[in-house]
Amino acid sequence: MMVIGGTDTSALTVEWAMSNLLNHPQVFETTRQNIDTHMEPSSSSNRRLLKEDDLVNMNYLNYVVSETLRLCPVAPLMVPHFSSSDCVIGGFNVPRDTIVLVNLWAIHRDPSVWDDPTSFKPERFEGRDQLGQYNGKMMPFGLGRRVCPGLGLANRVVGLVLGSMIQCFEWESGSGGPVDMTEGPGLSMPKAEPLVVTCRPREVASELLF
């Protein structure tokens, strides 16, 4: 289940991230500059592809991943829980054996917590930890004892895949216009219309991949 869930959610997160980047060209360019600056070789013979170890130095790329997880959480209602006893949550009486859902989508767009909450602004995470926890208001993987065990793996996979795509290829939407950001139904949160793009290899990809 962990492998299946991690594959689906990570792929959706990359799709949402690329969709947001294509709709925000300046953010896309800043992300690319962050990657290119770190990966700039001393000579052409030293060129290499992005590796997992590089992610710690990719601050802006990490901000993009965090902002995508905030704005487009792929598990918007998280995993259902049962109350083990009668309790009170946020002033509401919750009887024992009640199914409890956390509306992560609403929490991540709460205007009392987030400045301009519906806008894609990766820089909001500057100066914060890479997960941007915001004192419990940012929790794409849950919190506490039941936090998603794949948290670290997911962040590395999404960062590495997205960063490699940006390092190696030029991207544009298949329509040539803005990407439709309508959310689709499901336990996870897919795009209503799958992302369609065109790409062409950059020089680094031509040297290292072909």
Question: The domain that contains 171 carries what CATH number?
Answer: 1.10.630.10
Confidence of residue 43 (pLDDT cuts 50, 70, 90): low
In a domain, 117, yes or no: yes
72 appears as a binding residue in the annotation = no
The total domain count for the chain is 1
Q: Decide if 191 is inside a domain.
A: yes
How many CA atoms does the CB half-sphere of 202 hold within 13 Å? 13
Residue 60, domain member (yes or no): yes
Residue 84 lies in a domain: no
Whether 80 maps to a domain, the answer reads: no
* DSSP code, position 181: -
Going by pLDDT thresholds of 50, 70 and 90, the confidence category of residue 23 is very high
- Single out the residue of 161, 81, 69 nearest to residue 107, CA to CA: 69
Residue 164 has pLDDT above 60, yes or no: yes
pLDDT band at 54 (very low <50, low <70, confident <90, very high): very high
Please give the average per-residue pLDDT across 160-165, as a whole number. Answer: 97
Q: Which amino acid is at 67?
A: E
Q: Does the residue 91 lie in any domain?
A: no
Residue 62 falls within a domain, yes or no?
yes
Which residue range forms the structural domain that includes residue 133?
2-74+106-208
